[in-house]
Chain A
Protein backbone atom coordinates (compact mmCIF):
# COMPACT_ATOMS: atom_id res chain seq x y z
CA UNK A 1 0.00 0.00 0.00
CA UNK A 2 1.54 3.30 -1.06
CA UNK A 3 0.20 6.06 1.12
CA UNK A 4 0.42 9.58 -0.27
CA UNK A 5 -1.73 11.60 2.13
CA UNK A 6 -1.16 11.67 5.88
CA UNK A 7 -2.63 13.42 8.90
CA UNK A 8 -0.92 16.72 9.74
CA UNK A 9 1.75 16.81 12.45
CA UNK A 10 -0.61 18.74 14.70
CA UNK A 11 -3.20 16.01 14.33
CA UNK A 12 -0.66 13.27 15.07
CA UNK A 13 0.58 15.18 18.10
CA UNK A 14 -3.03 15.70 19.23
CA UNK A 15 -3.59 11.97 18.87
CA UNK A 16 -0.48 11.26 20.94
CA UNK A 17 -1.72 13.68 23.58
CA UNK A 18 -5.15 12.06 23.68
CA UNK A 19 -6.86 15.29 22.67
CA UNK A 20 -8.91 14.29 19.65
CA UNK A 21 -12.00 12.71 21.15
CA UNK A 22 -12.97 9.16 20.29
CA UNK A 23 -14.51 9.82 16.85
CA UNK A 24 -11.47 11.52 15.33
CA UNK A 25 -9.15 9.22 17.25
CA UNK A 26 -10.71 6.18 15.57
CA UNK A 27 -10.19 7.55 12.06
CA UNK A 28 -6.58 8.50 12.83
CA UNK A 29 -5.93 5.12 14.52
CA UNK A 30 -7.29 3.39 11.41
CA UNK A 31 -4.77 5.26 9.28
CA UNK A 32 -1.96 4.52 11.76
CA UNK A 33 -2.76 0.84 11.60
CA UNK A 34 -1.68 0.84 7.95
CA UNK A 35 0.97 3.61 7.97
CA UNK A 36 4.32 2.85 9.64
CA UNK A 37 5.62 6.39 9.01
CA UNK A 38 2.77 8.00 10.93
CA UNK A 39 3.04 5.39 13.66
CA UNK A 40 6.64 6.42 14.14
CA UNK A 41 5.69 10.10 14.14
CA UNK A 42 2.87 9.60 16.66
CA UNK A 43 5.26 7.70 18.88
CA UNK A 44 7.77 10.50 18.61
CA UNK A 45 5.10 12.97 19.65
CA UNK A 46 4.33 10.80 22.68
CA UNK A 47 7.83 11.72 23.86
CA UNK A 48 6.58 15.26 24.12
CA UNK A 49 4.17 14.04 26.78
CA UNK A 50 6.99 12.16 28.50
CA UNK A 51 9.15 15.26 28.55
CA UNK A 52 6.26 17.31 29.92
CA UNK A 53 5.69 14.72 32.61
CA UNK A 54 9.33 14.82 33.61
CA UNK A 55 10.04 18.53 33.48
CA UNK A 56 6.83 20.31 34.44
CA UNK A 57 5.66 20.99 37.99
CA UNK A 58 4.72 18.22 40.40
CA UNK A 59 1.86 18.01 42.89
CA UNK A 60 2.42 16.09 46.13
CA UNK A 61 0.34 12.94 46.45
CA UNK A 62 -1.50 12.04 49.66
CA UNK A 63 0.82 11.09 52.56
CA UNK A 64 -0.45 7.51 52.58
CA UNK A 65 -0.42 7.10 48.79
CA UNK A 66 2.77 5.03 48.66
CA UNK A 67 1.62 2.86 51.53
CA UNK A 68 -1.66 2.17 49.77
CA UNK A 69 0.12 1.39 46.53
CA UNK A 70 2.46 -1.05 48.26
CA UNK A 71 -0.51 -2.78 49.85
CA UNK A 72 -2.25 -2.94 46.48
CA UNK A 73 0.57 -4.29 44.32
CA UNK A 74 0.37 -7.63 46.07
CA UNK A 75 -3.17 -8.00 44.91
CA UNK A 76 -3.09 -6.61 41.38
CA UNK A 77 -4.03 -9.14 38.75
CA UNK A 78 -1.95 -9.70 35.65
CA UNK A 79 -2.49 -7.70 32.49
CA UNK A 80 -5.37 -8.84 30.34
CA UNK A 81 -4.26 -8.75 26.73
CA UNK A 82 -6.36 -6.62 24.41
CA UNK A 83 -8.43 -8.91 22.25
CA UNK A 84 -9.08 -7.53 18.79
CA UNK A 85 -12.46 -8.82 17.65
CA UNK A 86 -12.20 -10.64 14.38
CA UNK A 87 -15.50 -9.69 12.74
CA UNK A 88 -15.88 -7.24 9.81
CA UNK A 89 -12.80 -9.06 8.61
CA UNK A 90 -10.44 -7.10 6.47
CA UNK A 91 -10.80 -3.81 8.38
CA UNK A 92 -7.83 -2.42 10.32
CA UNK A 93 -7.80 -3.46 13.99
CA UNK A 94 -9.01 -0.21 15.61
CA UNK A 95 -12.22 -0.30 13.58
CA UNK A 96 -13.00 -3.85 14.64
CA UNK A 97 -13.81 -2.72 18.17
CA UNK A 98 -16.95 -0.91 16.97
CA UNK A 99 -20.41 -2.02 15.97
CA UNK A 100 -21.34 -1.17 12.42
CA UNK A 101 -24.91 -0.32 11.40
CA UNK A 102 -26.62 -1.60 8.27
CA UNK A 103 -25.80 -0.02 4.90
CA UNK A 104 -28.39 2.56 3.81
CA UNK A 105 -28.73 4.09 0.39
CA UNK A 106 -28.24 7.74 -0.45
CA UNK A 107 -29.30 8.08 -4.06
CA UNK A 108 -28.34 5.41 -6.55
CA UNK A 109 -24.62 4.97 -6.26
CA UNK A 110 -23.85 5.88 -2.68
CA UNK A 111 -24.42 4.09 0.63
CA UNK A 112 -23.49 4.81 4.22
CA UNK A 113 -23.54 2.95 7.51
CA UNK A 114 -23.10 4.38 11.01
CA UNK A 115 -20.15 3.34 13.16
CA UNK A 116 -21.21 3.16 16.81
CA UNK A 117 -18.78 5.63 18.37
CA UNK A 118 -20.15 7.63 21.30
CA UNK A 119 -20.62 11.17 19.97
CA UNK A 120 -17.54 13.20 20.86
CA UNK A 121 -17.59 16.96 20.45
CA UNK A 122 -20.35 16.80 17.85
CA UNK A 123 -18.25 14.51 15.64
CA UNK A 124 -19.83 11.34 14.27
CA UNK A 125 -18.26 8.43 12.45
CA UNK A 126 -19.67 6.54 9.49
CA UNK A 127 -18.57 4.52 6.51
CA UNK A 128 -19.32 5.53 2.94
CA UNK A 129 -19.42 3.13 0.01
CA UNK A 130 -19.58 4.29 -3.59
CA UNK A 131 -19.56 2.58 -6.96
CA UNK A 132 -16.72 3.22 -9.40
CA UNK A 133 -17.19 6.47 -11.29
CA UNK A 134 -19.56 7.98 -8.72
CA UNK A 135 -19.41 11.75 -8.49
CA UNK A 136 -20.04 12.88 -4.91
CA UNK A 137 -21.88 16.22 -5.11
CA UNK A 138 -19.71 19.25 -4.49
CA UNK A 139 -19.93 20.05 -0.82
CA UNK A 140 -18.63 22.26 1.95
CA UNK A 141 -18.28 21.33 5.61
CA UNK A 142 -19.71 22.77 8.77
CA UNK A 143 -16.63 21.54 10.63
CA UNK A 144 -13.95 18.91 10.23
CA UNK A 145 -14.32 16.02 7.82
CA UNK A 146 -11.55 13.47 8.22
CA UNK A 147 -11.53 10.51 5.89
CA UNK A 148 -9.46 7.35 5.83
CA UNK A 149 -9.81 5.33 2.64
CA UNK A 150 -10.31 1.62 3.38
CA UNK A 151 -10.65 0.37 -0.17
CA UNK A 152 -10.70 1.76 -3.72
CA UNK A 153 -9.84 5.38 -4.47
CA UNK A 154 -11.29 8.81 -5.15
CA UNK A 155 -9.91 12.04 -6.51
CA UNK A 156 -10.63 15.66 -5.80
CA UNK A 157 -8.87 19.02 -5.98
CA UNK A 158 -6.21 17.90 -3.48
CA UNK A 159 -5.19 14.80 -5.41
CA UNK A 160 -5.80 11.06 -5.51
CA UNK A 161 -6.74 9.24 -2.31
CA UNK A 162 -6.30 5.46 -2.34
CA UNK A 163 -6.43 2.78 0.35
CA UNK A 164 -4.81 4.00 3.57
CA UNK A 165 -4.77 7.66 2.55
CA UNK A 166 -5.97 10.25 5.04
CA UNK A 167 -7.89 13.32 3.94
CA UNK A 168 -8.05 16.06 6.55
CA UNK A 169 -10.67 18.60 5.45
CA UNK A 170 -12.39 21.30 7.46
CA UNK A 171 -14.78 24.22 7.00
CA UNK A 172 -12.27 26.00 4.78
CA UNK A 173 -12.39 23.25 2.15
CA UNK A 174 -14.89 22.80 -0.69
CA UNK A 175 -14.45 19.75 -2.81
CA UNK A 176 -16.24 17.41 -5.17
CA UNK A 177 -14.73 13.94 -5.01
CA UNK A 178 -15.04 11.47 -7.87
CA UNK A 179 -14.64 7.75 -7.25
CA UNK A 180 -12.08 6.15 -9.54
CA UNK A 181 -13.04 3.56 -12.09
CA UNK A 182 -12.41 -0.04 -11.18
CA UNK A 183 -13.06 -0.82 -7.55
CA UNK A 184 -15.85 0.06 -5.13
CA UNK A 185 -14.60 2.77 -2.79
CA UNK A 186 -15.11 2.40 0.97
CA UNK A 187 -14.14 5.18 3.38
CA UNK A 188 -14.25 5.77 7.10
CA UNK A 189 -15.32 9.33 7.87
CA UNK A 190 -15.39 11.46 11.03
CA UNK A 191 -17.62 14.46 10.47
CA UNK A 192 -18.65 17.45 12.48
CA UNK A 193 -22.08 18.91 11.75
CA UNK A 194 -23.89 18.35 8.46
CA UNK A 195 -22.34 18.56 5.04
CA UNK A 196 -23.72 21.27 2.79
CA UNK A 197 -24.29 20.11 -0.73
CA UNK A 198 -23.98 22.60 -3.55
CA UNK A 199 -25.45 22.94 -7.02
CA UNK A 200 -28.83 21.78 -8.30
CA UNK A 201 -28.26 18.05 -7.79
CA UNK A 202 -26.86 18.77 -4.36
CA UNK A 203 -29.89 20.74 -3.34
CA UNK A 204 -32.14 17.96 -4.58
CA UNK A 205 -30.14 15.39 -2.63
CA UNK A 206 -29.78 17.44 0.54
CA UNK A 207 -33.07 16.28 2.13
CA UNK A 208 -31.94 12.68 1.67
CA UNK A 209 -28.57 13.22 3.23
CA UNK A 210 -29.19 13.07 6.94
CA UNK A 211 -25.98 11.35 7.85
Chain B
Protein backbone atom coordinates (compact mmCIF):
# COMPACT_ATOMS: atom_id res chain seq x y z
CA UNK B 1 0.00 0.00 0.00
CA UNK B 2 2.82 2.30 0.86
CA UNK B 3 4.22 1.54 -2.57
CA UNK B 4 0.98 2.56 -4.26
CA UNK B 5 0.77 5.80 -2.30
CA UNK B 6 4.30 6.74 -3.22
CA UNK B 7 3.70 5.92 -6.86
CA UNK B 8 0.60 8.10 -6.89
CA UNK B 9 2.52 10.93 -5.30
CA UNK B 10 5.24 10.49 -7.82
CA UNK B 11 2.81 11.14 -10.64
CA UNK B 12 0.98 14.05 -9.09
CA UNK B 13 3.63 15.91 -7.26
CA UNK B 14 5.77 18.15 -9.40
CA UNK B 15 2.89 20.12 -10.91
CA UNK B 16 0.85 20.07 -7.73
CA UNK B 17 3.68 21.32 -5.63
CA UNK B 18 4.35 24.20 -7.94
CA UNK B 19 0.70 25.19 -7.97
CA UNK B 20 0.62 25.03 -4.20
CA UNK B 21 3.72 27.13 -3.89
CA UNK B 22 2.23 29.67 -6.22
CA UNK B 23 -0.88 29.72 -4.06
CA UNK B 24 1.29 30.14 -1.00
CA UNK B 25 3.08 33.09 -2.52
CA UNK B 26 -0.14 34.86 -3.34
CA UNK B 27 -1.51 34.13 0.10
CA UNK B 28 1.85 35.22 1.57
CA UNK B 29 2.34 31.87 3.24
CA UNK B 30 5.85 30.42 3.09
CA UNK B 31 6.26 27.45 0.81
CA UNK B 32 7.25 25.29 3.77
CA UNK B 33 4.03 26.11 5.51
CA UNK B 34 2.10 25.31 2.36
CA UNK B 35 3.75 21.94 2.16
CA UNK B 36 2.96 21.35 5.80
CA UNK B 37 -0.67 22.33 5.47
CA UNK B 38 -1.32 20.54 2.24
CA UNK B 39 -2.47 17.01 1.89
CA UNK B 40 0.59 16.36 -0.16
CA UNK B 41 2.98 16.85 2.72
CA UNK B 42 3.72 13.17 2.51
CA UNK B 43 6.13 14.31 -0.17
CA UNK B 44 8.96 14.79 2.22
CA UNK B 45 12.09 13.72 0.39
CA UNK B 46 14.19 13.95 3.57
CA UNK B 47 11.86 11.43 5.22
CA UNK B 48 12.12 9.20 2.15
CA UNK B 49 15.91 9.27 2.35
CA UNK B 50 15.70 8.49 6.07
CA UNK B 51 13.36 5.56 5.30
CA UNK B 52 15.94 4.15 2.93
CA UNK B 53 18.71 4.62 5.48
CA UNK B 54 16.87 3.08 8.41
CA UNK B 55 14.91 0.26 6.80
CA UNK B 56 15.89 -0.05 3.14
CA UNK B 57 12.44 1.21 2.13
CA UNK B 58 12.01 0.42 -1.56
CA UNK B 59 8.79 2.43 -1.90
CA UNK B 60 10.69 5.49 -0.72
CA UNK B 61 13.30 4.78 -3.35
CA UNK B 62 10.61 4.49 -6.03
CA UNK B 63 9.24 7.90 -5.06
CA UNK B 64 12.68 9.54 -5.06
CA UNK B 65 13.57 7.89 -8.35
CA UNK B 66 10.37 9.13 -9.99
CA UNK B 67 11.08 12.70 -8.93
CA UNK B 68 14.84 12.94 -9.26
CA UNK B 69 16.00 10.61 -12.07
CA UNK B 70 14.42 12.73 -14.85
CA UNK B 71 15.75 15.86 -13.16
CA UNK B 72 19.28 14.52 -13.02
CA UNK B 73 19.07 13.53 -16.67
CA UNK B 74 17.74 16.99 -17.54
CA UNK B 75 20.50 18.71 -15.57
CA UNK B 76 23.20 16.64 -17.27
CA UNK B 77 21.85 17.16 -20.77
CA UNK B 78 21.51 20.91 -20.22
CA UNK B 79 25.17 21.01 -19.35
CA UNK B 80 26.14 19.21 -22.55
CA UNK B 81 26.19 15.54 -21.57
CA UNK B 82 25.03 13.12 -24.31
CA UNK B 83 21.64 11.50 -23.68
CA UNK B 84 22.96 7.96 -23.22
CA UNK B 85 25.68 9.05 -20.79
CA UNK B 86 23.15 11.22 -18.93
CA UNK B 87 20.89 8.19 -18.61
CA UNK B 88 23.74 6.12 -17.18
CA UNK B 89 24.83 8.80 -14.73
CA UNK B 90 21.23 9.34 -13.59
CA UNK B 91 21.04 5.61 -12.90
CA UNK B 92 24.37 5.62 -11.04
CA UNK B 93 23.36 8.69 -9.06
CA UNK B 94 20.12 7.09 -7.91
CA UNK B 95 21.99 3.94 -6.86
CA UNK B 96 24.34 6.20 -4.91
CA UNK B 97 21.28 7.75 -3.21
CA UNK B 98 20.31 4.27 -2.04
CA UNK B 99 23.83 3.42 -0.95
CA UNK B 100 24.67 6.71 0.72
CA UNK B 101 21.27 7.38 2.29
CA UNK B 102 22.73 6.97 5.78
CA UNK B 103 25.27 9.72 5.11
CA UNK B 104 22.61 12.27 4.15
CA UNK B 105 22.72 15.08 6.67
CA UNK B 106 19.62 17.29 6.66
CA UNK B 107 21.54 19.98 8.54
CA UNK B 108 24.03 20.27 5.74
CA UNK B 109 21.79 20.32 2.69
CA UNK B 110 18.30 19.79 1.36
CA UNK B 111 17.72 16.53 -0.51
CA UNK B 112 17.82 18.27 -3.90
CA UNK B 113 21.19 19.83 -3.12
CA UNK B 114 22.54 16.55 -1.79
CA UNK B 115 21.47 14.66 -4.90
CA UNK B 116 22.81 17.47 -7.05
CA UNK B 117 26.27 17.06 -5.47
CA UNK B 118 26.15 13.30 -6.10
CA UNK B 119 25.29 13.83 -9.78
CA UNK B 120 27.83 16.66 -10.09
CA UNK B 121 30.65 14.47 -8.76
CA UNK B 122 29.74 11.57 -11.05
CA UNK B 123 29.72 13.99 -13.96
CA UNK B 124 33.13 15.42 -13.03
CA UNK B 125 34.60 11.93 -12.76
CA UNK B 126 33.23 11.04 -16.19
CA UNK B 127 34.67 14.18 -17.72
CA UNK B 128 38.05 13.36 -16.22
CA UNK B 129 37.83 9.79 -17.50
CA UNK B 130 38.51 8.61 -13.97
CA UNK B 131 42.14 9.68 -14.41
CA UNK B 132 42.24 12.28 -11.71
CA UNK B 133 41.50 12.12 -8.02
CA UNK B 134 37.79 11.45 -7.51
CA UNK B 135 35.59 14.50 -7.21
CA UNK B 136 34.30 13.06 -3.93
CA UNK B 137 37.77 13.43 -2.44
CA UNK B 138 38.22 17.05 -3.53
CA UNK B 139 34.74 18.18 -2.65
CA UNK B 140 34.83 16.35 0.63
CA UNK B 141 36.88 19.19 2.02
CA UNK B 142 33.42 20.68 2.55
CA UNK B 143 32.32 17.80 4.71
CA UNK B 144 34.57 18.37 7.67
CA UNK B 145 32.72 18.34 10.90
CA UNK B 146 31.90 21.83 12.01
CA UNK B 147 30.12 21.74 15.35
CA UNK B 148 26.39 21.65 14.80
CA UNK B 149 24.10 24.01 16.56
CA UNK B 150 20.71 22.64 17.64
CA UNK B 151 18.86 24.90 15.20
CA UNK B 152 20.96 23.52 12.36
CA UNK B 153 18.49 20.72 11.87
CA UNK B 154 16.20 22.67 9.58
CA UNK B 155 19.02 24.48 7.90
CA UNK B 156 19.57 22.36 4.81
CA UNK B 157 16.03 22.58 3.46
CA UNK B 158 15.70 26.15 4.66
CA UNK B 159 18.85 27.13 2.81
CA UNK B 160 17.60 25.60 -0.44
CA UNK B 161 14.43 27.57 -0.03
CA UNK B 162 16.29 30.82 0.56
CA UNK B 163 18.25 30.30 -2.62
CA UNK B 164 15.06 29.63 -4.54
CA UNK B 165 13.56 32.83 -3.14
CA UNK B 166 16.74 34.80 -3.81
CA UNK B 167 16.71 33.63 -7.43
CA UNK B 168 13.28 35.20 -7.80
CA UNK B 169 14.54 38.44 -6.27
CA UNK B 170 17.23 38.84 -8.90
CA UNK B 171 16.65 41.10 -11.86
CA UNK B 172 15.66 39.22 -15.01
CA UNK B 173 19.10 39.99 -16.45
CA UNK B 174 20.96 38.64 -13.45
CA UNK B 175 18.76 35.56 -13.32
CA UNK B 176 19.46 34.81 -16.96
CA UNK B 177 23.21 34.99 -16.43
CA UNK B 178 22.99 32.77 -13.34
CA UNK B 179 20.86 30.25 -15.25
CA UNK B 180 23.24 30.07 -18.17
CA UNK B 181 26.32 29.90 -15.99
CA UNK B 182 25.21 27.48 -13.30
CA UNK B 183 22.20 25.59 -14.66
CA UNK B 184 23.48 25.23 -18.21
CA UNK B 185 27.17 25.28 -17.41
CA UNK B 186 28.04 27.80 -20.14
CA UNK B 187 31.47 29.49 -19.99
CA UNK B 188 31.36 33.26 -19.39
CA UNK B 189 32.60 34.02 -22.90
CA UNK B 190 29.82 31.97 -24.44
CA UNK B 191 27.21 33.70 -22.28
CA UNK B 192 28.53 37.07 -23.44
CA UNK B 193 28.20 35.96 -27.03
CA UNK B 194 24.73 34.44 -26.60
CA UNK B 195 23.37 37.56 -24.91
CA UNK B 196 25.36 40.00 -27.03
CA UNK B 197 26.87 41.75 -23.99
CA UNK B 198 30.51 42.40 -23.01
CA UNK B 199 32.33 39.75 -20.96
CA UNK B 200 32.78 42.29 -18.16
CA UNK B 201 29.02 42.73 -17.94
CA UNK B 202 28.51 38.97 -17.60
CA UNK B 203 31.00 38.94 -14.73
CA UNK B 204 29.56 41.97 -12.97
CA UNK B 205 26.01 40.60 -13.20
CA UNK B 206 27.20 37.29 -11.77
CA UNK B 207 29.08 39.07 -8.99
CA UNK B 208 25.99 41.06 -8.02
CA UNK B 209 23.79 37.96 -8.16
CA UNK B 210 26.21 35.96 -6.00
CA UNK B 211 26.44 38.80 -3.47
CA UNK B 212 22.65 38.95 -3.29
CA UNK B 213 22.46 35.21 -2.78
CA UNK B 214 25.04 35.26 -0.02
CA UNK B 215 23.28 38.12 1.70
CA UNK B 216 20.06 36.09 1.78
CA UNK B 217 21.86 33.08 3.16
CA UNK B 218 23.80 35.07 5.74
CA UNK B 219 20.51 36.26 7.18
CA UNK B 220 20.06 32.63 8.17
CA UNK B 221 23.03 32.38 10.45
Residues of A at the B interface (CB closer than 8 Å) are 8-10, 13, 17-19, 22, 25-26, 29-30, 32-33, 36, 39-62, 65-66, 68-70, 72-73, 76-79, 82, 84, 92-94, 97-98, 117-118, 120
B182 and A69 within 8 A (CB): no
Which residue from B78, B136, B141 sits with its C-beta under 8 Å from A33?
B141
| Interface class of chain B by DSSP | helix
A22 and B132 within 8 A (CB): yes
Residues of B at the A interface (CB closer than 8 Å) are 14, 58, 61-62, 65-66, 68-75, 77-78, 83, 86-87, 90-91, 94-95, 98-100, 103, 108-110, 112-117, 119-121, 123-124, 128, 131-142, 144, 146, 159-160, 162-164, 167, 178-179, 181-183, 185, 203, 206-207, 210-211, 213-214, 217, 221
Known A-B contacts A49-B117, A51-B163; A61 and B87 likewise in contact (beta carbons under 8 Å)? yes
**Least distance between A162 CB and chain B CB atoms (Å):** 20
Known A-B contacts A18-B124, A44-B214, A76-B95; A53 and B72 likewise in contact (beta carbons under 8 Å)? yes
Max chain A C-beta neighbours (<10 A), residue from B73, B87, B116: B116
The residue in chain A whose Cβ has the minimal distance to the Cβ of B159 is A47
19 new A-B contacts, CB < 8 A, other than A50-B114, A58-B71, A92-B141, are: A8-B207, A17-B182, A18-B135, A22-B128, A26-B138, A30-B141, A36-B146, A39-B141, A47-B110, A48-B163, A50-B113, A51-B160, A53-B119, A58-B73, A59-B83, A61-B90, A65-B90, A93-B141, A94-B138
10 example contacts (A-B, Cβ-Cβ < 8 A) are as follows A22-B133, A51-B163, A53-B72, A53-B75, A53-B116, A54-B71, A56-B183, A59-B83, A61-B73, A94-B138
Which residue from A43, A68, A72 sits with its C-beta under 8 Å from B142?
A43
**Least distance between A16 CB and chain B CB atoms (Å):** 8
Known A-B contacts A18-B123, A65-B87; A29 and B139 likewise in contact (beta carbons under 8 Å)? yes
